Amino acid sequence: MSYFNLWLTGLSGSGKTTIAEKVSDCLTDVSINNEVLDGDVYRAFLSPGAGYSEKERNAFRKKVIVLAGIFNKHDISCIIAMLSSSQSVRTLARQELSNFVEVYVKCPIEVCIQRDPKGIYQRRNKGEMTSVVGIDIPYEEPISPEIIVETEKLSIDSTSEIILDKLKNLHLLKE
């Protein structure tokens, strides 16, 4: 097998998308076929009109898992940047996808609220939005991720280096 599935999980604003894009660029630079499956981007066309109930969120996540499997059949590694707040969804992904590497993009909620790149926390505070993970819905921290990166303490370059080094140590990337 020449592919892997890098699953980045963490609160909104923790840095999942930024990390996914940086790691993708590094992989592309060394001619490794990869696709970033960003939850926000793919939700728009895989589950248009879906709400944010747990049932709707899980249905969308399962679609992403299937999509990653399709990419894998063509030796394309997937970098999945998705909040994926429940351990059960991440466990399902681990069972369904080969060469699965879970990355916990750890960041305190206070820092995520300050960053708030999508305005989710601001809309929540104005009462325009409910069901925000980390405030209204619990985020279940990963039990045993292969990688933990604390984005309030690390630069994007350091974070990417940690992830790429781990992929090499797991023999999923050539030295």
- Which tens digits make up the pLDDT trace of 142-164? 999 999 999 999 999 999 999 99
Is residue 84 part of the annotated active site? The answer reads: yes
3-state helix, strand, coil in the chain (%, to 5): 45, 15, 40
Q: Which two tokens stand for residue 138?
A: 């619990």
- Which tens digits make up the pLDDT trace of 36-85? 999 877 777 777 777 667 777 778 888 899 999 999 999 999 999 998 88
User: Which member of 12, 24, 77, 84 is catalytic?
Assistant: 84
**Exposed/middle/buried for residue 97 (C-beta within 10 Å: 0-12, 13-18, 19+):** buried
Structural domains of the chain, with CATH: 5-169 (3.40.50.300)
Confidence (pTM): 0.92
